[in-house]
Structure 1
Amino acid sequence: MGEKRKWKWVTTSVTLAFSLIASAAMAFQANCEVEAAQKQTGITEGFIRGVDISSIVAFEEMGQKFYYANGNQGDMFDILKDGGVNYIRVRVWNDPYDTQSKLGYGGGNSDISKAIKIGQRAKAHGMRLLVDFQYSDFWADPAKQYAPKAWKDYTPGQKANAVYDFTYNSLSKLLSAGVDVGMVQIGNETMGTMAGMGGLYDGTWNLTTGVGAAMQKGCGAVDAINKQYGLSGNKAILKALHFTDPNTTASWYAEQAALQRINYDVFAVSAYPFWHGSPDELAASLKSVAKTYNKKVMVAETAYPYTFANADATGNNVSSLKDMSYSGYDVSVAGQKKAIEAVFMAVASVNMQEGTQGYGLGGFYWEPAWIGADVKKSGRYGTGFASKVSGNYELLFHDKVIEYATEDKGSSWDNMAMFDSKGKALDSLQVFCKIKDAASH
């Protein structure tokens, strides 16, 4: 998520650290209605075919239009539903706005009000919502996990309590607004660090220096919400922990979460085939975690480039083969479709393993509508990965801007989108219908 260029070396260095520690209306509309799942595919009836479209409100406010593959304009949620999507993921930052100027940091300015708008539209289209609480005011990923401004001087214990309060209060707002929340992430790509605590800040990656306690508090808030709103069984909100590098560190983190006795339901990973390895490796890793720790598993983020061309003035995270650790698929629309299908089927394979049937929940494509953004407008609307004031947030924590920006930026993800530079759906969006259809074969 966010500005991902540094992921490759960050995750590699973290992995090395672990080794030391642990040795119809539209022409393209497809018939997605199928019967219950068949065992030979692992695709269950409720298998998650999700997307993260956290930046969509910002793009629409800017005036961006989106189109079906036949060129007809449509509402994004109609396009996605017709394409087979059944679940929406949305990130939530605590306060993604500059204290002095009140301008947004960018990345969709994804606060709780945006999440409510997106969640209501998802509900109207029969989709559930995964709420990705990052416990930061801007991008949180393996390279950065800054605490929210308001928590800057909190002790670890105070941060844990703040995680509880923010989670509980935000979910109350979402549910009161009629949003169908199906799952919550307690942190985003935490990798042993969250809200300014843990590995990136004290060198301790095993969740023992405040991170595990904060995760447990977040899970406790979800439990309290489930009880308060009478949500149980299939209606209960699931609690997910989210890590990355699934093929190298997943088992280690699952072990650390177990040692900390964190009461969560879903072990979620980021699985980008061009960085993290093959779907076969992903399948093996998820099967191991599911069986060993009795947890449901899913892919919280995935994507693949359909081109190396850049659609705006900001460089892309993956602009050539040299930016890819693995290149098992063509960089084309067809290659994008094939890569993503393979990732989802890797998750589905968990349901074919003895003892973990139903544990493979599905996955989410990260920001398929984050097309090229006009830098002249991005600062006003938040459509770029960062704005000129985002660096002010980083300067609260060190003396120079490294991860964010001091000038308005565009999209660094446009060549990963499932829409072209004009907002027209690519054929790769049909992968969700294809995955759903796999349940009938």
Structure 2
Amino acid sequence: MEIEKMWIKGMDVSFLDEIEQGGGTFHEGPDKVDVLELLQRSGTTSIRLRIWNDPPGGYCNLERTLIMAKRVKELGMHLLLDFHYSDKWADPANQWKPAAWEGLRGTALEQAVYDYTYEVMAVLRAGGALPDMVQIGNEITNGMLWPDAKVDPRAEAGADEEPWARLCGLLKSGASAVQAVDRSVRVMLHIDRGGDPEGSLTFFERMEEQGVPHDVIGLSYYPWWHGPLEQLERNLQDLSLRFGRDIVVVKTAYPWTFRTREGFPLIVENDEALPSAFPVSAEGQQAYLKALTDIIRRTPDGRGLGFYYWEPCWIPSHQVWSVGHANNWSNLTLFDHDGYPLPALYIP
């Protein structure tokens, strides 16, 4: 599948394996359905899966990721694999080494990244589930594999370059492993600064200077954390024109309700930080996603490849182990609390 010619309407369903095992179900009309098949019928073209090295509980490890990846590829959908290089969440506030790598430093850590990336890719290829695109790290604005490659994105160029050199060495190792398995797989670098044009430019300028190989720029964008849509549009335009690379908004979401089920708190529980143009309702969520896709499609030279909606299927069916707390995302899904699709799912 040639990604350059395909609009990515993507869904991150990394929790789905656990949700299904815990008894969560999804519906189309009166019938229970395989939600991956429903996503495909709704126009989804790509699925994103995260992988953790050795997570407690076992979900999102290599064994379970292979099972999920096979389901995706059997449906003929494009697959993005998101390496966290951790046993748990990796994001701007958490980039902790997997336990097995705690004592590794320098070239030994780079080799561990290479070997692990190669192993995962080889296993997926052998299982008929080779990803089409791979992220080397997740939201690596502040670096990865702390403390070794923890960086300050606000530091001026020339100030304490050693952490940046360590980060870039690790990224090069991961990218090299992907290319060694199959050179057709596209490599993405992903940061969380969708609404921060200056910060995004600074980060990717460093990647250029250090010669980190990557085909795609990935940005997270949540309006309550990252500012107005106008800032995202400016960022997409600036990055496209500066670097000539394809760009994906690789994480986004919007609330459809403030109603919740008992025992399930909400991470977005009011509209104080939300754009007033999009009321919190099923229709408001749909309007937000339509506005977002319009902005991405306006990226110069057709470089805006599309988006991934983060955890559209994370319905409040049970207490997932993976986050260490109850599901706080149940009003940000693309399915209602009972697993029925919302209108935004059908945005083209």
Matches within 5 A, 1:407-422: 409-422=325-338
Alpha-carbon distance in 1 for matches of 2:81, 2:343: 28
Larger Rg: 1
Shift of the 124–261 alpha-carbon distance from structure 1 to 2, 3 Å rule, reads: same
Contact 2:271–2:280 at 8 Å: present in 1 too?
no
Aligned to 1:426: 342
TM alignment of 1:266-305, pairs within 5 A: 266-305=216-255
**Unaligned regions of 5+ residues in structure 1, if any?**
1-43, 98-102, 228-235, 387-408, 436-441
SS in 2 for 1:208: helix
Q: Does 1:345 align with 2:301?
A: no
CA distance in 2, matches of 1:72, 1:91: 29
Percent identical among aligned pairs is: 30
- CA offsets per residue over residues 192-229 of structure 1, 9 Å max, x none? 310113346999797615111101111111111115xx
Q: Equivalent residue of 1:414, what SS?
A: coil
Q: Secondary structure at the match of 1:316?
A: coil
Query: Aligned pair in 2 of structure 1 residues 211, 327: CA closer, same or farther (>3 Å)?
Result: farther
CA distance in 1, matches of 2:153, 2:102: 15
Which digits, 9 at most, give the CA deviation of each residue in 1:274-295, with x for residues without a partner? 3212333212211211221121
Question: Could you say which residue in structure 1 is the equivalent of 2:16?
Answer: 56
Instruction: Report matched runs for 1:150-299 at 5 Å.
Output: 150-196=100-146, 197-199=148-150, 208-227=164-183, 236-248=184-196, 249-299=199-249
CA distance in 1, matches of 2:275, 2:143: 26
2:307 to 335, 360, 363: 363
Q: Does 1:385 align with 2:301?
A: no
- Residues 120 and 95 of structure 1: CA distance in aligned 2, closer, same or farther (over 3 Å): same
Cα deviation, residue 325, structure 1: 5.8
Report if aligned partners of 1:309, 1:415 keep a CA contact under 8 Å in 2. yes
Aligned to 1:20: none
Shift of 1:326: 4.4
Unaligned runs of 5+ in 2: none
Residue 374 of structure 1 aligns with an amino acid whose one-letter code is H
Give, as a single letter, the amino acid of the residue that structure 1 aligns with 2:109. K
Structure 1 residue aligned with 2:279 = 330
Which piece of structure 1 moves more, 366-375 or 413-422?
Answer: 366-375
Q: Deviations over 1:306-338 (max 9, x none)?
A: 11122341322111124x264441111111111
Which letter does structure 2 place at the counterpart of 1:428? A
**Distance in 1 between the 2:61 and 2:216 partners?**
24
CA distance in 2, matches of 1:292, 1:201: 22
Residues 1:84 and 2:43 are matched in the alignment: yes
Kept after mapping to 1: 8 A contact 2:150/2:167: no
Q: Distance in 2 between matches of 1:210 and 1:72?
A: 52
Matched, 1:114 2:114: no
Secondary structure, counterpart of 2:27 in structure 1: coil
Map Cα deviations across residues 373-397 of structure 1 (whole Å, 9 max, x no partner): 434xx4xxx3x522xxxxxxxxxxx
**Aligned partner letter, 1:269:** L
For residues 244 and 123 of structure 1, the distance between their equivalents in structure 2, rounded to whole angstroms, comes to: 28
> Would the alpha carbon gap of residues 66 and 146 (structure 1) be closer, same or farther in structure 2, given more than 3 Å must change?
same
Closer, same or farther: CA 67–189 of 1 in aligned 2, 3 Å: same
Is contact 1:189-1:244 (8 Å) kept? Answer: yes
Question: Structure 2 length normalisation: TM-score?
Answer: 0.91
Alignment length (residue pairs): 337
- Equivalents in 1 of 2:243, 2:79: separation in Å? 25
Provide Cα deviations, 1:15-41, integer angstroms capped at 9, x if missing partner. Answer: xxxxxxxxxxxxxxxxxxxxxxxxxxx
Higher relative contact order (CA 8 A, sep 6+): 1
Q: What is the rounded CA distance, in whole Å, between the counterparts of 2:186 and 2:87 in structure 1?
A: 24
Q: Secondary structure at the match of 2:31?
A: coil
Q: 1:180 to 1:346 in 2, by over 3 A?
A: farther
Selected match of 2:26 from 66, 75, 83: 66
| Structure 1 stretch displaced more, 288-297 or 259-268 | 288-297
After superposition, what is the alpha-carbon deviation per residue over 1:93-145, rounded to whole angstroms, capped at 9, x for unaligned? 00002xxxxx45xxxx2112222111111112110110000001101111110
Q: Distance in 1 between matches of 2:129 and 2:78?
A: 8
Q: Are the equivalent residues in 2 in contact too, given 1:128–1:180 (CA < 8 A)?
A: no
Give the deviation of 1:422 after TM superposition. Answer: 1.1
Cα distance, 1:273 vs. partner? Answer: 2.2
SS of 2:32's equivalent in the other structure is coil
Secondary structure of the equivalent of 1:342?
helix
User: What is the distance in 2 between the residues matched to 1:194 and 1:271?
Assistant: 20
